[in-house]
A and B are shown apart, each in its own frame.
Chain A
Amino acid sequence: MLTGDLMELAALQQLFYDAIFDKSGTRSEALCQHITTAPNLTAADGIAIYRGSILGKLSSTLQAIYPFCHRLVGDTFFRMTASTYVHLSPSTSPDLGDYGEDFPEFLAMFEPAASLPYLPDMARFEWHWHRIFNGEDTSLLDFQALANIPHEKWGELIFKLPKASVLLESVYPIHRIWQVNQPDYEGDDSVNLDESGVKILLWRQNDEMRLDLPTDSEWQLLKAFQSQQPFGLICEALANNEATLDVSALLTQFVQRGWIADFSF
Protein backbone atom coordinates (compact mmCIF):
# COMPACT_ATOMS: atom_id res chain seq x y z
CA MET A 1 0.00 0.00 0.00
CA LEU A 2 1.30 3.46 -0.87
CA THR A 3 2.45 5.47 2.12
CA GLY A 4 -0.20 8.13 1.54
CA ASP A 5 -2.98 5.54 1.35
CA LEU A 6 -1.69 3.82 4.50
CA MET A 7 -1.58 7.11 6.38
CA GLU A 8 -5.10 7.87 5.23
CA LEU A 9 -6.33 4.49 6.47
CA ALA A 10 -4.47 4.92 9.77
CA ALA A 11 -6.00 8.35 10.28
CA LEU A 12 -9.51 7.04 9.60
CA GLN A 13 -9.01 4.13 11.98
CA GLN A 14 -7.63 6.39 14.69
CA LEU A 15 -10.64 8.67 14.24
CA PHE A 16 -12.94 5.66 14.55
CA TYR A 17 -11.13 4.53 17.71
CA ASP A 18 -11.33 8.03 19.22
CA ALA A 19 -15.03 8.31 18.37
CA ILE A 20 -15.74 5.08 20.25
CA PHE A 21 -14.20 6.38 23.48
CA ASP A 22 -14.97 10.09 23.07
CA LYS A 23 -17.55 11.33 25.56
CA SER A 24 -17.76 14.86 24.15
CA GLY A 25 -19.14 13.77 20.78
CA THR A 26 -16.73 15.86 18.72
CA ARG A 27 -14.84 12.87 17.34
CA SER A 28 -18.12 11.14 16.49
CA GLU A 29 -19.22 14.20 14.54
CA ALA A 30 -15.94 14.19 12.65
CA LEU A 31 -16.28 10.46 11.90
CA CYS A 32 -19.84 10.94 10.64
CA GLN A 33 -18.47 13.03 7.79
CA HIS A 34 -16.82 9.87 6.45
CA ILE A 35 -19.88 7.62 6.71
CA THR A 36 -22.75 7.06 4.30
CA THR A 37 -26.25 7.22 5.70
CA ALA A 38 -28.02 3.89 5.20
CA PRO A 39 -31.78 3.46 4.61
CA ASN A 40 -32.54 2.85 8.29
CA LEU A 41 -29.34 3.85 10.05
CA THR A 42 -27.80 7.29 10.32
CA ALA A 43 -24.02 7.56 10.61
CA ALA A 44 -24.41 8.43 14.28
CA ASP A 45 -26.65 5.38 14.80
CA GLY A 46 -24.04 3.13 13.23
CA ILE A 47 -21.21 4.51 15.36
CA ALA A 48 -23.35 4.10 18.47
CA ILE A 49 -23.85 0.42 17.67
CA TYR A 50 -20.10 -0.17 17.51
CA ARG A 51 -19.57 1.92 20.64
CA GLY A 52 -22.09 -0.09 22.60
CA SER A 53 -20.61 -3.36 21.45
CA ILE A 54 -16.98 -2.42 22.11
CA LEU A 55 -17.48 -0.76 25.47
CA GLY A 56 -19.88 -3.51 26.47
CA LYS A 57 -17.35 -6.20 25.66
CA LEU A 58 -14.63 -4.48 27.71
CA SER A 59 -17.03 -4.07 30.60
CA SER A 60 -18.18 -7.69 30.46
CA THR A 61 -14.53 -8.78 30.33
CA LEU A 62 -13.96 -6.96 33.62
CA GLN A 63 -17.07 -8.56 35.08
CA ALA A 64 -15.82 -12.00 34.08
CA ILE A 65 -12.37 -11.41 35.61
CA TYR A 66 -13.72 -9.71 38.76
CA PRO A 67 -16.95 -11.60 39.60
CA PHE A 68 -16.61 -11.17 43.37
CA CYS A 69 -16.10 -7.45 43.07
CA HIS A 70 -19.14 -7.37 40.83
CA ARG A 71 -21.18 -9.25 43.44
CA LEU A 72 -19.89 -7.11 46.29
CA VAL A 73 -20.83 -3.77 44.76
CA GLY A 74 -23.84 -4.82 42.70
CA ASP A 75 -24.43 -4.62 38.97
CA THR A 76 -25.28 -0.91 38.68
CA PHE A 77 -22.26 0.31 40.60
CA PHE A 78 -19.95 -2.14 38.84
CA ARG A 79 -21.14 -1.01 35.40
CA MET A 80 -20.58 2.62 36.34
CA THR A 81 -17.11 1.81 37.66
CA ALA A 82 -16.22 -0.30 34.62
CA SER A 83 -17.44 2.44 32.28
CA THR A 84 -15.11 4.95 33.94
CA TYR A 85 -12.22 2.50 33.83
CA VAL A 86 -12.56 1.50 30.15
CA HIS A 87 -12.41 5.16 29.14
CA LEU A 88 -9.18 5.60 31.11
CA SER A 89 -7.42 2.34 30.34
CA PRO A 90 -7.11 1.24 26.72
CA SER A 91 -6.68 -2.40 25.82
CA THR A 92 -3.19 -2.99 24.43
CA SER A 93 -3.45 -6.68 23.68
CA PRO A 94 -5.52 -8.80 21.26
CA ASP A 95 -6.05 -11.18 24.19
CA LEU A 96 -8.91 -9.90 26.36
CA GLY A 97 -7.49 -12.04 29.16
CA ASP A 98 -4.75 -9.43 29.43
CA TYR A 99 -7.22 -6.61 30.03
CA GLY A 100 -7.80 -5.06 33.42
CA GLU A 101 -4.51 -5.65 35.21
CA ASP A 102 -4.53 -2.18 36.76
CA PHE A 103 -8.22 -2.29 37.72
CA PRO A 104 -7.26 -2.86 41.41
CA GLU A 105 -5.06 0.26 41.38
CA PHE A 106 -7.86 2.18 39.69
CA LEU A 107 -10.29 1.07 42.42
CA ALA A 108 -7.87 2.29 45.09
CA MET A 109 -8.08 5.80 43.60
CA PHE A 110 -11.77 5.72 42.61
CA GLU A 111 -13.54 8.03 45.04
CA PRO A 112 -17.02 6.47 44.73
CA ALA A 113 -15.51 3.18 45.99
CA ALA A 114 -13.79 4.78 48.98
CA SER A 115 -16.38 3.41 51.41
CA LEU A 116 -15.24 -0.11 50.47
CA PRO A 117 -11.58 -0.02 51.51
CA TYR A 118 -11.15 -3.80 51.05
CA LEU A 119 -12.29 -3.66 47.41
CA PRO A 120 -8.86 -3.01 45.80
CA ASP A 121 -7.32 -5.95 47.67
CA MET A 122 -10.26 -8.16 46.67
CA ALA A 123 -9.70 -7.11 43.05
CA ARG A 124 -6.00 -7.84 43.32
CA PHE A 125 -6.86 -11.31 44.59
CA GLU A 126 -9.23 -11.87 41.65
CA TRP A 127 -6.71 -10.67 39.09
CA HIS A 128 -4.14 -13.13 40.32
CA TRP A 129 -6.74 -15.91 40.48
CA HIS A 130 -7.52 -15.23 36.81
CA ARG A 131 -3.85 -15.22 35.75
CA ILE A 132 -2.99 -18.35 37.72
CA PHE A 133 -6.04 -20.25 36.48
CA ASN A 134 -5.07 -19.49 32.87
CA GLY A 135 -1.34 -19.41 33.44
CA GLU A 136 1.57 -21.70 33.06
CA ASP A 137 1.35 -25.16 34.60
CA THR A 138 3.59 -26.16 37.45
CA SER A 139 5.83 -29.12 36.93
CA LEU A 140 6.23 -31.71 39.67
CA LEU A 141 9.34 -31.48 41.78
CA ASP A 142 11.95 -33.99 40.68
CA PHE A 143 12.44 -35.68 44.04
CA GLN A 144 15.04 -38.09 42.73
CA ALA A 145 17.15 -35.29 41.31
CA LEU A 146 16.92 -33.43 44.60
CA ALA A 147 17.87 -36.51 46.58
CA ASN A 148 20.96 -36.89 44.39
CA ILE A 149 22.29 -33.45 45.33
CA PRO A 150 25.12 -33.88 47.85
CA HIS A 151 24.19 -32.31 51.15
CA GLU A 152 27.18 -29.97 51.09
CA LYS A 153 25.82 -28.45 47.88
CA TRP A 154 22.39 -27.65 49.28
CA GLY A 155 23.45 -24.15 50.28
CA GLU A 156 23.78 -23.27 46.61
CA LEU A 157 20.31 -24.46 45.66
CA ILE A 158 17.62 -22.00 44.67
CA PHE A 159 14.20 -23.37 45.56
CA LYS A 160 11.25 -22.19 43.51
CA LEU A 161 7.61 -21.72 44.30
CA PRO A 162 5.09 -22.99 41.71
CA LYS A 163 5.12 -20.95 38.50
CA ALA A 164 1.37 -20.48 38.82
CA SER A 165 1.41 -18.90 42.26
CA VAL A 166 1.41 -15.59 44.08
CA LEU A 167 1.93 -14.41 47.66
CA LEU A 168 -0.73 -11.89 48.64
CA GLU A 169 -1.38 -10.06 51.86
CA SER A 170 -4.09 -7.71 52.98
CA VAL A 171 -5.02 -5.89 56.15
CA TYR A 172 -8.58 -7.05 55.48
CA PRO A 173 -9.87 -10.64 55.77
CA ILE A 174 -10.33 -10.97 52.02
CA HIS A 175 -10.15 -14.77 52.30
CA ARG A 176 -13.32 -14.65 54.43
CA ILE A 177 -15.02 -12.31 51.98
CA TRP A 178 -14.13 -14.72 49.19
CA GLN A 179 -15.26 -17.73 51.22
CA VAL A 180 -18.71 -16.43 52.20
CA ASN A 181 -19.41 -15.38 48.61
CA GLN A 182 -18.89 -18.87 47.24
CA PRO A 183 -22.12 -20.16 45.59
CA ASP A 184 -22.17 -23.28 47.75
CA TYR A 185 -21.17 -21.61 51.03
CA GLU A 186 -23.30 -22.52 54.04
CA GLY A 187 -22.69 -21.00 57.42
CA ASP A 188 -22.18 -17.69 59.09
CA ASP A 189 -21.74 -15.18 56.28
CA SER A 190 -20.82 -12.26 58.49
CA VAL A 191 -17.36 -10.81 57.98
CA ASN A 192 -15.69 -8.59 60.56
CA LEU A 193 -13.55 -6.17 58.58
CA ASP A 194 -11.72 -5.26 61.76
CA GLU A 195 -10.48 -8.76 62.37
CA SER A 196 -6.86 -9.41 61.52
CA GLY A 197 -5.62 -9.28 57.97
CA VAL A 198 -4.45 -12.26 55.99
CA LYS A 199 -1.47 -13.70 54.17
CA ILE A 200 -2.32 -15.97 51.25
CA LEU A 201 -0.45 -18.34 49.00
CA LEU A 202 -2.67 -18.58 45.92
CA TRP A 203 -1.64 -21.25 43.45
CA ARG A 204 -2.80 -23.99 41.13
CA GLN A 205 -2.03 -27.65 41.55
CA ASN A 206 -2.88 -29.36 38.27
CA ASP A 207 -6.50 -28.29 37.63
CA GLU A 208 -7.25 -27.31 41.21
CA MET A 209 -6.93 -23.77 42.50
CA ARG A 210 -5.48 -23.64 46.03
CA LEU A 211 -5.86 -20.88 48.61
CA ASP A 212 -3.46 -21.66 51.47
CA LEU A 213 -2.98 -19.56 54.61
CA PRO A 214 0.65 -19.84 55.71
CA THR A 215 1.63 -19.22 59.31
CA ASP A 216 3.90 -16.27 60.01
CA SER A 217 6.95 -18.54 59.98
CA GLU A 218 5.90 -20.21 56.76
CA TRP A 219 5.25 -16.81 55.19
CA GLN A 220 8.71 -15.63 56.13
CA LEU A 221 10.31 -18.61 54.43
CA LEU A 222 8.01 -18.41 51.39
CA LYS A 223 8.95 -14.76 50.88
CA ALA A 224 12.61 -15.72 51.17
CA PHE A 225 12.22 -18.43 48.53
CA GLN A 226 10.34 -15.99 46.33
CA SER A 227 13.44 -13.77 46.36
CA GLN A 228 15.27 -16.55 44.46
CA GLN A 229 18.28 -16.40 46.73
CA PRO A 230 20.48 -19.46 47.36
CA PHE A 231 19.29 -21.63 50.20
CA GLY A 232 22.44 -21.03 52.24
CA LEU A 233 21.97 -17.27 52.21
CA ILE A 234 18.33 -17.67 53.17
CA CYS A 235 19.26 -19.82 56.17
CA GLU A 236 21.89 -17.29 57.28
CA ALA A 237 19.47 -14.36 57.01
CA LEU A 238 16.74 -16.18 58.92
CA ALA A 239 19.21 -17.31 61.60
CA ASN A 240 19.90 -13.64 62.32
CA ASN A 241 16.21 -12.92 62.93
CA GLU A 242 14.78 -12.92 66.40
CA ALA A 243 12.31 -15.70 65.67
CA THR A 244 13.95 -19.04 65.18
CA LEU A 245 12.68 -21.01 62.25
CA ASP A 246 13.28 -24.68 61.75
CA VAL A 247 14.05 -24.11 58.09
CA SER A 248 14.78 -27.75 57.30
CA ALA A 249 11.50 -28.92 58.79
CA LEU A 250 9.61 -26.18 57.00
CA LEU A 251 11.29 -26.97 53.70
CA THR A 252 10.28 -30.62 54.06
CA GLN A 253 6.67 -29.57 54.67
CA PHE A 254 6.76 -27.17 51.72
CA VAL A 255 7.97 -29.93 49.44
CA GLN A 256 5.28 -32.33 50.66
CA ARG A 257 2.54 -29.74 50.13
CA GLY A 258 3.73 -28.85 46.64
CA TRP A 259 4.75 -25.33 47.67
CA ILE A 260 8.23 -26.00 46.28
CA ALA A 261 7.92 -27.00 42.65
CA ASP A 262 11.46 -26.85 41.35
CA PHE A 263 15.04 -26.03 42.16
CA SER A 264 18.18 -24.93 40.38
CA PHE A 265 21.73 -23.83 41.02
Chain B
Amino acid sequence: MTTHFPPSQITGAGLGLRSEHYQDILIHHPPVQWFEVLSDNYLAAAGQPLHYLERIRNNYPITLHGVGMSLGSADPLNLEYLTRLKRLANWMEPAYISDHLAWISINGCYLSDLAPLPYTEAVMEQVAQRIIQVQDFLEQRILLENPSTYVAFKSSTMPEWAFIQGVVDKADCDLLLDVNNIYVSATNHGFDPLNYLNAIPTERVKEIHLAGYEEEENYLFDTHGYQVHPPVWDLYQKALERFGAVPTLIEWDTDIPSFEVLMAEADKADALIKKIANNRSKA
Protein backbone atom coordinates (compact mmCIF):
# COMPACT_ATOMS: atom_id res chain seq x y z
CA MET B 1 0.00 0.00 0.00
CA THR B 2 1.48 3.34 -1.00
CA THR B 3 0.13 6.34 0.76
CA HIS B 4 0.43 10.01 -0.02
CA PHE B 5 -1.99 11.35 2.50
CA PRO B 6 -2.32 14.97 3.60
CA PRO B 7 -0.77 15.85 6.98
CA SER B 8 -2.24 14.13 9.99
CA GLN B 9 -2.60 17.16 12.28
CA ILE B 10 -6.12 18.22 13.20
CA THR B 11 -7.46 21.64 14.11
CA GLY B 12 -10.90 23.07 14.61
CA ALA B 13 -14.13 21.10 14.54
CA GLY B 14 -14.46 17.65 13.03
CA LEU B 15 -17.24 15.19 12.31
CA GLY B 16 -17.64 11.46 12.72
CA LEU B 17 -17.28 9.53 9.47
CA ARG B 18 -20.45 7.52 8.80
CA SER B 19 -21.20 5.21 5.90
CA GLU B 20 -24.40 7.15 5.17
CA HIS B 21 -22.27 10.09 4.07
CA TYR B 22 -19.52 8.38 2.06
CA GLN B 23 -20.90 9.39 -1.34
CA ASP B 24 -21.72 12.93 -0.20
CA ILE B 25 -18.17 13.39 1.05
CA LEU B 26 -16.49 11.96 -2.03
CA ILE B 27 -18.63 13.88 -4.49
CA HIS B 28 -19.01 17.27 -2.78
CA HIS B 29 -15.81 17.49 -0.69
CA PRO B 30 -17.52 19.34 2.19
CA PRO B 31 -15.38 21.81 4.17
CA VAL B 32 -14.98 19.47 7.17
CA GLN B 33 -11.63 20.01 8.83
CA TRP B 34 -11.17 16.38 9.88
CA PHE B 35 -13.05 13.15 10.46
CA GLU B 36 -13.15 10.76 13.38
CA VAL B 37 -13.13 7.18 12.14
CA LEU B 38 -14.59 4.39 14.25
CA SER B 39 -11.56 2.14 13.98
CA ASP B 40 -13.47 -1.02 14.97
CA ASN B 41 -15.46 -0.80 11.73
CA TYR B 42 -12.33 -0.95 9.58
CA LEU B 43 -10.20 -3.67 11.12
CA ALA B 44 -10.64 -6.16 8.28
CA ALA B 45 -7.65 -6.44 6.00
CA ALA B 46 -9.65 -5.15 3.05
CA GLY B 47 -13.22 -4.72 1.86
CA GLN B 48 -15.42 -1.98 0.54
CA PRO B 49 -15.50 0.18 3.70
CA LEU B 50 -11.70 0.41 3.57
CA HIS B 51 -11.84 1.53 -0.04
CA TYR B 52 -14.06 4.41 0.97
CA LEU B 53 -11.90 5.25 3.95
CA GLU B 54 -8.74 5.38 1.88
CA ARG B 55 -10.37 7.66 -0.69
CA ILE B 56 -11.66 9.96 2.04
CA ARG B 57 -8.28 9.95 3.77
CA ASN B 58 -6.82 11.27 0.52
CA ASN B 59 -8.60 14.56 1.25
CA TYR B 60 -8.99 14.81 5.02
CA PRO B 61 -6.97 14.16 8.16
CA ILE B 62 -8.52 11.63 10.52
CA THR B 63 -8.41 10.24 14.02
CA LEU B 64 -9.04 6.60 14.94
CA HIS B 65 -11.49 6.06 17.81
CA GLY B 66 -12.39 2.63 19.13
CA VAL B 67 -13.95 0.73 22.00
CA GLY B 68 -12.17 -2.59 21.59
CA MET B 69 -9.02 -2.04 23.68
CA SER B 70 -10.99 -2.84 26.85
CA LEU B 71 -8.39 -0.92 28.84
CA GLY B 72 -10.10 -1.54 32.18
CA SER B 73 -10.60 -5.27 31.79
CA ALA B 74 -9.02 -7.88 34.04
CA ASP B 75 -8.45 -9.97 30.87
CA PRO B 76 -5.09 -9.85 29.11
CA LEU B 77 -4.91 -7.38 26.24
CA ASN B 78 -6.26 -8.71 22.95
CA LEU B 79 -3.11 -8.74 20.83
CA GLU B 80 -4.93 -9.76 17.67
CA TYR B 81 -7.12 -6.68 17.99
CA LEU B 82 -4.11 -4.46 18.64
CA THR B 83 -2.27 -5.95 15.65
CA ARG B 84 -5.19 -5.14 13.35
CA LEU B 85 -5.46 -1.65 14.84
CA LYS B 86 -1.76 -1.02 14.35
CA ARG B 87 -1.97 -2.15 10.73
CA LEU B 88 -4.87 0.24 10.15
CA ALA B 89 -3.02 3.08 11.89
CA ASN B 90 0.18 2.51 9.91
CA TRP B 91 -1.85 2.62 6.70
CA MET B 92 -4.14 5.58 7.49
CA GLU B 93 -1.75 7.79 9.49
CA PRO B 94 -4.27 9.19 11.98
CA ALA B 95 -3.60 12.26 14.08
CA TYR B 96 -4.56 10.31 17.20
CA ILE B 97 -5.67 6.86 18.33
CA SER B 98 -8.17 6.88 21.19
CA ASP B 99 -10.21 4.55 23.36
CA HIS B 100 -12.08 4.66 26.65
CA LEU B 101 -11.66 4.48 30.39
CA ALA B 102 -13.90 1.41 30.54
CA TRP B 103 -13.97 -2.31 29.81
CA ILE B 104 -15.96 -4.39 27.34
CA SER B 105 -14.67 -7.93 27.86
CA ILE B 106 -14.20 -10.49 30.60
CA ASN B 107 -13.09 -14.10 30.25
CA GLY B 108 -13.11 -13.70 26.48
CA CYS B 109 -16.75 -12.62 26.21
CA TYR B 110 -17.54 -9.14 24.90
CA LEU B 111 -20.28 -6.78 26.04
CA SER B 112 -20.68 -4.65 22.87
CA ASP B 113 -20.78 -1.46 24.96
CA LEU B 114 -18.64 0.22 27.58
CA ALA B 115 -18.92 -0.93 31.19
CA PRO B 116 -17.92 1.01 34.32
CA LEU B 117 -14.95 0.65 36.65
CA PRO B 118 -14.44 1.00 40.38
CA TYR B 119 -11.99 3.83 41.03
CA THR B 120 -9.32 2.46 43.37
CA GLU B 121 -5.53 2.68 43.51
CA ALA B 122 -5.21 -0.93 42.39
CA VAL B 123 -7.49 -0.47 39.36
CA MET B 124 -5.68 2.78 38.51
CA GLU B 125 -2.40 0.87 38.43
CA GLN B 126 -3.97 -1.89 36.29
CA VAL B 127 -5.37 0.55 33.73
CA ALA B 128 -2.13 2.55 33.58
CA GLN B 129 -0.05 -0.58 32.99
CA ARG B 130 -2.33 -1.70 30.18
CA ILE B 131 -2.11 1.73 28.54
CA ILE B 132 1.68 1.59 28.76
CA GLN B 133 1.62 -1.82 27.04
CA VAL B 134 -0.75 -0.54 24.35
CA GLN B 135 1.37 2.55 23.70
CA ASP B 136 4.51 0.43 23.47
CA PHE B 137 2.77 -1.89 21.00
CA LEU B 138 1.32 0.90 18.86
CA GLU B 139 4.51 2.95 19.21
CA GLN B 140 2.58 6.09 20.02
CA ARG B 141 0.66 7.78 22.81
CA ILE B 142 -3.05 7.18 22.85
CA LEU B 143 -5.87 9.44 24.00
CA LEU B 144 -7.97 8.15 26.88
CA GLU B 145 -11.61 9.21 26.84
CA ASN B 146 -13.64 9.76 30.01
CA PRO B 147 -16.89 7.74 30.02
CA SER B 148 -20.48 8.56 30.80
CA THR B 149 -21.55 6.37 33.72
CA TYR B 150 -24.79 5.24 35.34
CA VAL B 151 -23.42 3.35 38.33
CA ALA B 152 -20.72 4.04 40.91
CA PHE B 153 -19.08 1.31 42.93
CA LYS B 154 -18.98 1.19 46.72
CA SER B 155 -15.34 0.11 46.54
CA SER B 156 -14.29 3.35 44.80
CA THR B 157 -11.93 5.41 46.96
CA MET B 158 -11.72 8.51 44.76
CA PRO B 159 -13.78 10.48 42.24
CA GLU B 160 -13.37 9.78 38.54
CA TRP B 161 -11.44 12.97 37.87
CA ALA B 162 -8.78 12.03 40.42
CA PHE B 163 -8.64 8.51 38.97
CA ILE B 164 -8.10 9.81 35.44
CA GLN B 165 -5.44 12.22 36.65
CA GLY B 166 -3.59 9.32 38.28
CA VAL B 167 -3.87 7.09 35.20
CA VAL B 168 -2.59 9.83 32.90
CA ASP B 169 0.39 10.51 35.18
CA LYS B 170 1.33 6.85 35.50
CA ALA B 171 0.77 5.93 31.84
CA ASP B 172 2.02 9.18 30.30
CA CYS B 173 -0.92 9.16 27.94
CA ASP B 174 -3.07 12.03 26.71
CA LEU B 175 -6.76 12.76 27.00
CA LEU B 176 -9.81 12.93 24.81
CA LEU B 177 -12.10 14.98 27.02
CA ASP B 178 -15.77 14.24 26.41
CA VAL B 179 -17.52 17.33 27.76
CA ASN B 180 -20.98 15.82 27.22
CA ASN B 181 -19.94 12.75 29.25
CA ILE B 182 -18.78 14.98 32.10
CA TYR B 183 -22.14 16.76 32.11
CA VAL B 184 -24.12 13.49 31.90
CA SER B 185 -22.14 11.82 34.68
CA ALA B 186 -22.24 14.95 36.85
CA THR B 187 -26.03 15.11 36.56
CA ASN B 188 -26.49 11.37 37.16
CA HIS B 189 -24.16 11.17 40.15
CA GLY B 190 -24.73 14.63 41.63
CA PHE B 191 -21.34 16.32 41.36
CA ASP B 192 -20.26 19.71 40.00
CA PRO B 193 -18.90 19.30 36.45
CA LEU B 194 -16.51 22.17 37.04
CA ASN B 195 -14.77 20.11 39.74
CA TYR B 196 -14.08 17.56 37.02
CA LEU B 197 -12.95 20.10 34.47
CA ASN B 198 -10.64 21.92 36.86
CA ALA B 199 -8.88 18.72 37.93
CA ILE B 200 -7.85 17.74 34.41
CA PRO B 201 -4.22 18.58 33.55
CA THR B 202 -4.35 21.16 30.78
CA GLU B 203 -1.42 19.93 28.76
CA ARG B 204 -2.91 16.46 28.30
CA VAL B 205 -6.14 17.36 26.54
CA LYS B 206 -5.57 16.86 22.82
CA GLU B 207 -9.15 16.45 21.67
CA ILE B 208 -12.66 17.22 22.90
CA HIS B 209 -15.92 15.41 22.16
CA LEU B 210 -19.31 17.10 22.10
CA ALA B 211 -22.54 15.14 21.75
CA GLY B 212 -26.26 15.25 22.49
CA TYR B 213 -27.84 13.34 25.39
CA GLU B 214 -31.45 12.29 25.88
CA GLU B 215 -33.26 13.50 28.95
CA GLU B 216 -35.07 10.58 30.60
CA GLU B 217 -37.39 10.83 33.58
CA ASN B 218 -34.71 10.60 36.24
CA TYR B 219 -31.37 10.60 34.41
CA LEU B 220 -29.49 11.77 31.34
CA PHE B 221 -28.67 9.13 28.74
CA ASP B 222 -25.61 9.55 26.55
CA THR B 223 -27.09 8.45 23.24
CA HIS B 224 -25.09 10.62 20.82
CA GLY B 225 -28.34 11.02 18.98
CA TYR B 226 -29.21 14.67 19.36
CA GLN B 227 -27.86 18.16 19.01
CA VAL B 228 -25.53 19.38 21.72
CA HIS B 229 -27.62 20.80 24.54
CA PRO B 230 -27.15 24.37 25.88
CA PRO B 231 -25.65 23.36 29.26
CA VAL B 232 -23.03 21.30 27.40
CA TRP B 233 -22.20 24.24 25.12
CA ASP B 234 -21.74 26.34 28.29
CA LEU B 235 -19.46 23.72 29.85
CA TYR B 236 -17.60 23.45 26.54
CA GLN B 237 -16.84 27.17 26.56
CA LYS B 238 -15.40 26.80 30.04
CA ALA B 239 -13.35 23.87 28.78
CA LEU B 240 -11.95 25.96 25.93
CA GLU B 241 -11.08 28.74 28.36
CA ARG B 242 -9.12 26.23 30.43
CA PHE B 243 -7.57 24.04 27.73
CA GLY B 244 -7.31 26.38 24.75
CA ALA B 245 -8.30 25.89 21.12
CA VAL B 246 -8.50 22.08 21.30
CA PRO B 247 -9.75 20.22 18.19
CA THR B 248 -13.35 19.23 18.84
CA LEU B 249 -15.50 16.46 17.42
CA ILE B 250 -19.25 16.65 17.01
CA GLU B 251 -20.18 13.09 17.93
CA TRP B 252 -23.50 11.90 16.49
CA ASP B 253 -23.88 8.11 16.28
CA THR B 254 -27.62 7.36 16.24
CA ASP B 255 -30.52 8.85 14.26
CA ILE B 256 -27.85 10.46 12.15
CA PRO B 257 -29.14 13.66 10.52
CA SER B 258 -28.29 15.28 7.22
CA PHE B 259 -24.80 16.51 6.60
CA GLU B 260 -26.07 20.09 6.79
CA VAL B 261 -27.22 19.61 10.39
CA LEU B 262 -23.88 18.12 11.36
CA MET B 263 -21.99 20.94 9.65
CA ALA B 264 -24.06 23.50 11.55
CA GLU B 265 -23.00 21.94 14.85
CA ALA B 266 -19.38 21.83 13.70
CA ASP B 267 -19.52 25.45 12.62
CA LYS B 268 -20.82 26.46 16.05
CA ALA B 269 -17.93 24.66 17.77
CA ASP B 270 -15.47 26.09 15.28
CA ALA B 271 -16.62 29.64 16.00
CA LEU B 272 -16.00 29.12 19.71
CA ILE B 273 -12.58 27.61 19.05
CA LYS B 274 -11.58 30.53 16.85
CA LYS B 275 -12.80 33.00 19.47
CA ILE B 276 -10.70 31.43 22.20
CA ALA B 277 -7.68 31.24 19.90
CA ASN B 278 -8.06 34.95 19.09
CA ASN B 279 -8.48 35.85 22.74
CA ARG B 280 -5.34 33.94 23.64
CA SER B 281 -3.30 35.47 20.86
CA LYS B 282 -4.25 38.97 22.05
CA ALA B 283 -3.46 38.19 25.70
Q: Give residues in A with beta carbon < 8 Å to B.
A: 1-2, 5-7, 9-10, 12-14, 16-17, 20, 34-36, 38-41, 43, 45-47, 49-50, 53-54, 57-58, 61, 90-97, 99, 133-137, 164, 204, 207
Contact = CB atoms under 8 A, between A and B. Distances in A.
Contact of B115 (A5, A50, A97): A50
B103 A13 contact: yes
Contacts of B108: 92
Interface of B: 40-41, 43-49, 51, 67-68, 70, 73-75, 78, 81, 103-113, 115-116, 118, 122-123, 125-126, 129, 150-156, 188-190, 218-219, 221
Nearest to A13: B106
B111 A204 contact: no
B150 A96 contact: no
Contact of B68 (A9, A12, A94): A94
Contact of A94 (B48, B81, B129, B154): B81
B180 to A, nearest CB: 16
B113 A53 contact: yes
Contacts of B67: 94
- Interchain residue pairs A-B with the least CB separation, the first 10: A94-B68, A46-B151, A10-B74, A5-B122, A134-B47, A1-B126, A91-B110, A13-B106, A46-B150, A137-B46
18 contacts: A6-B126, A10-B75, A38-B151, A38-B188, A40-B188, A40-B219, A50-B151, A53-B113, A57-B113, A90-B110, A91-B109, A92-B110, A99-B112, A134-B47, A135-B44, A135-B47, A136-B45, A136-B46
A61 B123 contact: no
Given A38-B189, A43-B151, A49 B44 contact: no
A211 to B, nearest CB: 16
Contact of A36 (B103, B105, B109, B153): B153
Nearest to A36: B152
B153 A35 contact: yes
Given A6-B126, A17-B111, A134-B48, 17 more contacts: A1-B129, A10-B75, A17-B107, A34-B118, A36-B154, A38-B188, A41-B150, A41-B151, A45-B150, A49-B219, A58-B112, A90-B109, A93-B110, A94-B68, A94-B105, A136-B44, A137-B46
Most buried by B among A1, A2, A99: A1
Given A9-B123, A40-B219, A46-B151, A91 B118 contact: no
A10 B76 CA distance: 11
A53 B151 CA distance: 14
A188 to B, nearest CB: 31
Contact of A57 (B49, B112, B189): B112
Contact of A137 (B47, B70, B103, B107): B47
Most buried by A among B47, B68, B111, B156: B111
A41 B149 CA distance: 11
A49 B150 contact: yes
B74 A13 contact: yes
Nearest to A6: B74
B166 to A, nearest CB: 14
Contacts of A135: 44, 46-47
B106 A17 contact: yes
B56 to A, nearest CB: 14
A136 B47 contact: yes
Most buried by A among B48, B155, B188, B190: B48
A54 B70 CA distance: 15
A248 B173 CA distance: 62
B40 A96 contact: yes
A50 B117 CA distance: 13
Given A9-B74, A136-B46, A39 B151 contact: no
Given A41-B219, A137-B47, A13 B73 contact: yes
B150 A50 contact: yes
B89 to A, nearest CB: 16
Contacts of A40: 188, 190, 218-219
B153 A34 contact: yes
B176 to A, nearest CB: 19
Most buried by A among B107, B110, B155, B219: B110
Nearest to A38: B189
Contacts of B48: 133-134, 204, 207
A47 B111 contact: no
B150 A54 contact: no
Nearest to B111: A54
A45 B47 contact: no
Contact of B122 (A1, A58, A136): A1
A53 B149 CA distance: 12
A5 to B, nearest CB: 4
Contacts of B189: 38-39
A134 B44 contact: yes
A91 B106 CA distance: 11
B273 to A, nearest CB: 31
